[in-house]
Structure 1
Amino acid sequence: MESKELPLNTTVAAYANSEEERGSVVNADVPTLDRKVIRRLRLKVDLIILPTLAITYTFNSLDRSNLGNAKTAGLVADTNLKGDQYNLLLTLYYIAFVLFGPVMTAFTKICTAKVAIPAMMLAFGIASATTSVAKNFGGLAACRIVVGAFESGFLASVVFYLSKWYTRGEIASRIAIFYSGSVVASAFGGLLAYGMFQLKPSGGLFVWSYLFILEGCLTCIVAIIVYFILPQDIEGAYFLSAEEKEVAAARIQIESMENRNDKWVWSEALSEFRTVHAWARIVIGMAVGILPHTSANFLAIMTQRLGYSVTKTNLYTVAPAVTAAVVLIILSYSSDYFRERGFHMTIPLGFSIIGYSVLLGIDIETQRNAAYGAIFFCTMGAYPMSVIFSAWTVTNIPNLNARAFTMGCMMTMLNSMGLVASNIFYAREAPRYRTALIVNMAFPVVAIVLNVLYSLYLRHLNRKMDREQEPQEHGQAPFRYQT
């Protein structure tokens, strides 16, 4: 049986945002795309690129969050940290993260993700492994600054890379699959920490040193392998046939890009900042950014508040992280299916408000089960909105240079909230951490308000473009914002 061919614009219409948009697209006399070829090439990308990126992000997350696991095993006492010096370590990490974020993303656009992603992994893997021999605050600080600098552009670079392979109706669910590596890392990190903490230290090392050695060295090995797996672009995809490459390039070009020129042009890169959209995304990103950082850096510490041993603390972080991964994938697929972003972001933000409100309002010493259940809500709220927000950003920026630079800046500002997250868990407030709970409860409320207002504004712009729509170029779908 022959595969059914679709008019190119019919394929585009399947991703349209409105009935008016679909109607304006399907009537043009354009080339055809083979639906069977689309399914085949998409499956290949799903099976080769997505798992590779998911693994890379798993190790990225392990190297970022292992400091929290190490703290539960005596890092503070072993390195003679005083007062809030542990929080200062996290602050220095995020300062480097903020300063180098846009630079690293621009590096990815210029040098290609095939080179940039493994290079960043190799650098922060070496720095993470070196943390194992740190004996004081200065040594730990130097390692965390290097880790922060090279991790700064990692997430934005991966999201940008994925946007060159998937359409606007596919991107959120794919980001969710690779981003789930971060969530799984929270679970796997707890199990790995449990195993490493059973070893007896020797040779001047501490019990937590082995965790940094293992995770850092594995990151470096994976970085080398990834370099040989990731193709530079669609044309360099060794796993696609010539026909599949042509179809892959056509559907992305028409559906979500102005052009596929790899030349870096600063005027294009900065163009988004001449509109209200870049600034709106940055403000919303800062409002939601505190949640994943609190979860990544303080999940083990929040669980330790329940009075468990080091072993149980690290094991009990597994279930909330796995649950969050499931919720993340479900919400992201729903967001792609309905082609809606704003409302899908408010759901996890609501989870966060519930979780932190419960932790703030109960006595954790007498209500352990309720407190542990609240931690599930905190993790379910921390991760999905980051994925959906990333998809919302890349799908609404057709120009590749603007997309890359804006993603870098947006992720930088989102991650700058790690500076807040790392400085609200005051040692003097342990084990309740009242200030941290209030802040993590308040920011989602602000984010929901901003999110709703921006979504309504985009709907207004779409209605305005519907009224003023001009004839489109051959095979080009009329652009509409995803709301």
Structure 2
Amino acid sequence: MKSSTPVEMVEEAPRPDLAVPDLPEEEQPGKVEVAPLGQDPAVIRRFLWKCDIRLIPCLGIMYLLNSLDRANLGNAKTDGLEADIGLVGNQYNQVLTYYYIPYVLCGPFFALITRLITAKYSLTGMMVFFGSFSIATAFAKNFSQLLTFRLFIGIFESGFLASVVIYMSGFWTRADIASRIGLFFASNVIASAFGGLLAYGTFQITDRHLRGWSYLFIIEGSLTVFFAIIMGLYIPQRLTSARFLTAEEKAAGVARQLADSVDEVDSKFSWNEAIIELRTWHTWIRILIVFSISVPLASNNNFLAPMVARLGYGTAKTNLYTVAPALTAAVFLVAFCFSSDRVRERGLHLCAALMVTTIGYIVLITINVDNLAVSYFALFLTTVGAYPVSPLFSSWCVSNLPNMNSRAFTIGFLIPVGNLSGFLVSNIFINSEAPRYMTALCVNLGFAILAIILCFSYGMWMRWENRRRDRLHGRITALDNHGHGQEYVTDGVLTSKDPRFRFMP
């Protein structure tokens, strides 16, 4: 239940069980609301294990299929899609550009739908529709038909990622959500590898009625619809209705949420709470960060295959050679996210990943395009550095949004804003500049550097603000993943402006 009284700090009598023995007496918690978790660590471990083993694979498969349906146009391009349906000039780039219009505009709407009807229904519904339109793309005969099908795919894919992040934040707290989003998001990277392998296989099909790229859309779209139905029957609506959890494990999960994640579990939707975070300056810095980090990521999603093609290989080898960078990136993505959770830090991890991307683009800009080995290694760097940024940023936002309604609207708003980068990316890979794509390389380098500056500055401000609040309102030691140590509750904390709140930098 939300507190009905105004937020005010009340001096608490010292409690031996809450003392932090390593701190000098003058640094012990003072004016701060505290509450021990009061749960058996063994129960918490069982809760986390069950959620991990039951939900992460399901969500990962769903996102893998979403990623395949979103990025398969790039694979199809390498198999003669443009020539087969008569695309001329920059019409392929136009298809990519127009796809992002409904993708951006509809994202917040679908995120709110998820908040109202739960992800169990919204995610599976979106999958059925964008999978069906992916199948339809196989039969596109001209530019207009291809564009129409991609627009509908953009509509129904728009709120998918935001809805998954919102759903996951209802099971895991900000202390452990980055690693889970990382595991889930690795399926997007694996999709790049699997998509390359699947494209390699389907492009070997010889049929006088349909080309290999048509079979690619049919196979991937059919898999999406099939798994949507299966997942709709399997995943729970929310933590409190998960049948694979015991009553004791559900209680532990709810306690963890209230202690270090949300203001209220299973709260009702409120427009006033949904937009409360948009009234702060944090929204603007988050917009700048998410757009900046999304440019290198969108470049890899849509143009990894064409960039590998600059190495001079044929269609089959080009798609096959996208596999290694993607799989390597998946490993580094998970490593970055687990490290982020372990040290409870987001901003510097983002900076580290972006530095890898920056080095990759500097190498691509400065070397001769005929230097195949170094070029391929540089593509590894750009891919490895680009993929961790999205899960790290998503978990960074979730970690600093205690209200579930505000979290849903803000995440649903920011992820589509990040996808605005698609408008830019789809127009900087200029055909006449192939295979070097110098404009695209320079733009990606510039945004990677800008993102490093923004993430570093924002993280440093959070550290400074936490220390300021500690001085004014008493020190808070955040709980660990096993419920040990000094804890504070987020129950009733609606916004990051609340002096009881501490940022995760």
**TM-score after normalising by structure 1:** 0.93
Equivalence for 1:404: 408
> Within the alignment, does 1:97 sit opposite 2:103 as a pair?
yes
Number of the residue aligned with 1:442: 446
Alignment correspondent of 1:373: 377
**Could you say if the C-alpha distance between residues 282 and 27 of structure 1 is closer, same or farther in structure 2, counting changes exceeding 3 Å?**
closer
| Equivalent residue for 1:195, pick from 185, 198, 201 | 201
Identify the match of residue 124 of structure 1 among 115, 123, 130. Answer: 130
Q: Is 1:184 matched up with 2:197?
A: no
> Could you say what secondary structure the match of 1:97 adopts?
helix
- Structure 1 residues 207, 10: CA separation in 2 closer, same or farther (over 3 Å shift)? farther
Equivalent AA in structure 1 for residue 116 of structure 2: I
Asked whether 1:174 is paired with 2:187, we answer no
Q: Which residue number in structure 2 is paired with residue 56 of structure 1? A: 62
Letter in 1 for 2:57: P
Q: 1:229 aligns with which of 212, 224, 234?
A: 234
CA contact (8 A) 2:62 2:228 kept: yes
| Alignment counterpart, residue 330 of structure 1, candidates 324, 331, 335 | 335
Query: Is the contact made by 1:11 and 1:33 (CA closer than 8 Å) also made in structure 2?
Result: no
1-structure distance, mates of 2:71, 2:17: 42
Residue 143, structure 1, aligned to residue 156, structure 2? no
**Distance across 1 between alignment mates of 2:436 and 2:92:** 17
1:325–1:24 distance in 2 versus 1, CA, 3 Å: farther
Partner secondary structure for residue 39 of structure 2: strand
Distance 1:142 1:240 in 2: 43
1:11 deviates by 12
Equivalent residues of 2:31, 2:474 under 8 A apart: no
Distance 1:269 1:71 in 2: 41
Aligned pair 1:343/2:348, yes or no? yes
Q: Retained in 1: the 8 A contact 2:104–2:158?
A: yes
1:291 alignment partner in structure 2: 296
Residue 476 of structure 1: how far off its partner (Å): 2.1
Looking at structure 2, the residues matched to 100 and 476 of structure 1 have their Cα atoms a distance apart, in angstroms, of 34
Question: C-alpha displacement at 1:373, in angstroms?
Answer: 0.4
Tell me the alpha carbon deviations over residues 207-230 of structure 1, each in whole angstroms, 9 at most, x when there is no partner.
210000000000000100111111
Measure the CA separation in 1 of the matches of 2:31 and 2:207: 66
Aligned pair partner of 2:263 in 245, 258, 261: 258
Matched, 1:354 2:354: no
State yes or no: 1:481 paired with 2:503: yes
Deviations 1:38-89 (A, max 9, x none): 0001100000011100100100100011000000000010011111110101
1:5: which partner in 2?
A: none
Report the alpha carbon displacement of residue 358 of structure 1 after superposing the two structures with TM.
1.3
Question: Alpha-carbon deviation of 1:457?
Answer: 1.6
- 2:357/2:385 contact within 8 Å kept: yes
Q: Which amino acid aligns with 1:481?
A: F
Q: Which runs of 5+ in 1 are unaligned?
A: 1-8
CA distance in 2, matches of 1:20, 1:56: 51
Tell me what 2:213 maps to: 208
2:250 corresponds in structure 1 to 245
Change in CA separation of 1:12 and 1:171 when aligned onto 2, cut-off 3 Å: farther
Query: 1:131-162 CA distances to partner (integer Å, 9 max, x unpaired)?
Result: 00001111110111111111111111111111
Q: CA deviation at 1:261?
A: 4.0
SS of equivalent residue, structure 1 residue 198: coil
Given the two structures, how large is their TM-score scaled by the length of structure 2?
0.89
Deviation at 1:339, TM superposition (A): 0.6
Residue equivalent to 2:459? 455
Structure 2 Cα separation of the partners of residues 377 and 471 of structure 1: 40
Correspondence for 2:3: none
- Deviation for aligned residue 1:260: 2.0
The Cα shift of 1:202 comes to: 3.3
Q: 1:64 to 1:10 in 2, by over 3 A?
A: farther
Aligned to 1:6: none
The superposition leaves residues 400-441 of structure 1 with CA deviations (integer Å, 9 ceiling, x where unpaired) of 000000001110111110111111111111111111111011
Per-residue deviation, 1:463: 1.5
Residues of 1 paired with 2:413 and 2:72: CA distance? 25
In structure 2, do the counterparts of structure 1 residues 290 and 22 end up closer, same or farther at CA, with 3 Å as the change threshold? farther
Per-residue deviation at 1:479? 2.4
> Percent same amino acid among aligned pairs?
48
Amino acid at match of 1:397: L
Preserved contact between residue 13 and residue 26 of structure 1 (Cα < 8 Å): no
CA distance in structure 2 between the aligned counterparts of 1:172 and 1:33, rounded to whole angstroms: 23
Q: How far 1:21 moved relative to its partner?
A: 9.9
Residue in structure 2 matched with residue 428 of structure 1 by the alignment = 432
Instruction: Tell me the CA shift for residue 460 of structure 1.
Output: 2.0
Question: Using the alignment, how far apart are the partners of 2:488 and 2:444 within structure 1?
Answer: 47
**Distance of 2:27 and 2:113 partners within structure 1:** 36
**Contact 1:10/1:25 (<8 A) preserved:** no
Which letter maps to 1:348? A
Distance of 2:28 and 2:365 partners within structure 1: 49
Judging by fraction of residues, say which structure has more helix.
1
Q: Tell me if structure 1 keeps the 8 A contact 2:30–2:474.
A: no
Question: Which residue is 1:310 aligned to?
Answer: 315
Instruction: Check the 8 A contact 2:35/2:489 in 1, yes or no.
Output: no
How much does 1:199 deviate?
A: 0.4
Which residue type is aligned with residue 425 of structure 1? Answer: F
Q: What is the deviation of 1:355?
A: 1.1
In 2, the alpha carbon distance for the partners of 1:41 and 1:29 equals 20
1:387 correspondence with 2:391:
yes
Change (3 A) 1:95 1:22: farther
- SS of the equivalent of 2:120 reads helix
1:347-376 Cα deviation digits (max 9, x unpaired)? 1111111111111112222x1000000000
Q: Give the superposed CA RMSD.
A: 2.3
**Residue 268 to residue 302, structure 1, CA distance change in 2 (3 Å):** same
- SS of 1:379's equivalent in the other structure is helix
